[in-house]
Structure 1
């Protein structure tokens, strides 16, 4: 009886001991995951060349928290794989693996975004060739799409999901529907194209090749409603026809005026002003999206009340774009052009102060 009582008394102690060991292991794993990305990053920085180490540090360091999440999902996924092929671990592994795929895709996309903003724009500008900002935007979206597609394919391949067979079976069933409702399906697909491409949005003023001009009142899945200017009538246009014609968007065309001020330490003579104007125009004329015909450089004399008079240059640039992404990238390239102007003028021995930041003023397109 005494032995039985002592054995029963030790059972709770053993159970709590297992719980404490488990909690200690979990705490160790969490602490290890917090420290592991930093350890790996420092190890890579120590072995890579200086330039590659700088690029890695600037692009990867801001996302240590997301890297820890990826490591956590990877560790849990590995544990479930080693656990065994039973029902619970199998479906649990698929769920964790799906989260791992999503987290890894987000991490890769954000690292590329950081690399794109910090290095690619600057490298494109330093190449000495004309910089096409629209091509940069397309490249950015293409890489993000490639990351998503690659993640889907890797997940499908590692979990025996026959993506090609699934798409083929869906295609056979959808073929009959496509023949039965060809016209309606064409209009529906045209609506999807308009939503993705977004050549115009509601309240934009657009013009069509047949002379139609008016304000977009709504964009449906099958048709778009345009309130014509002058008559005020409502025109309903099938979406598939809008995807096959040239559309002139008067509202969507954005025009932003950028003002940059250079204050020189002394009065600048006319010959030097001509040199400065030439350097400024040469530094901005090769940027797509900058209207070179509207670029203007004016000089004026500043009298600061008793001190020596100075010359100030006002640089007026017009940035053209069709969306927020293109405008943001062109502003970044304009900042790079401003740095180029500063370097070239200092090579000629011209000393000046430049106001920070640039002044941007919206200049709407005249309808």
Structure 2
């Protein structure tokens, strides 16, 4: 009789505890549902209103999942510290497994939303096209990291020996790494390209093998370049690009320096060829000067019924900053003096029309 009475009391206590746990689990669930508003209020108070608005916008679509995490978390705490049920270990493991899966899913969704809205928005504001393939790579890498952390946490809290499992996975991982060495190298090179930024999508680049074109995409394993002229697409492995000298044309600036040489007489074609040679020789060694684009145009001017020749020299200076541009202009002044001395040495008199004209222009692709 006493044993039966004791069992009834214990059973009644379990029912009461189950009722209390259920009630508080629902309270925790509804607390989780309003957690985005709570986080917003705290951030508005201690950080900034902008941080509060962004956090609420990020968390609000997942308030149901957050509430479920709060409720399961409370049940997990009760199952760990108030083990009154005979079969509590099984129940606790089930609750803990569900909580781990739900938490990993929740963090993955929140992180994915953060990448899609805030990282993508930042990339668009920077004026560069966002690289969707690398953003996806970052998302999936983060997903794997979240799942791995959740697995380790579950194993550690339930005394599961993960070292033997990791050791077996490590042996398989080494074999897999050797089998896919090239693919892994290409993936790591894609990360290097993303961090180093030698070029962006839509940039025009030139490679040592003569390839020239527009970057269409930077993928996990390879980069696609739309060649100029033919319009074909070349797919280049990323590990090859990291070992090449890449010439990026899109980020360059160009200043056209226009020199007007006024000769005291009409210059014959043979002398014009000599003048072109002197100009090219005197300017080809100037650092930052695109000698391939140098143009010399001769024209005849009729002044006082006496024909005279004028030569307009267009020099193209490449640079990226005010200091470098100023230095190259000074070097160009030195080259102008050299041209003057050499031509006068050949008996060709002229004067340079002042001032020298400098025109900012985009680099012609």
Interval containing the TM-score (normalised by the shorter chain): 0.3 to 0.5
The answer to which structure, 1 or 2, has the higher relative contact order (CA under 8 A, 6+ apart) is 1
Q: Please give the TM-score of this superposition, normalised by the length of structure 1.
A: 0.41
Q: Please give the TM-score of this superposition, normalised by the length of structure 2.
A: 0.41
Q: Which has the larger radius of gyration?
A: 2
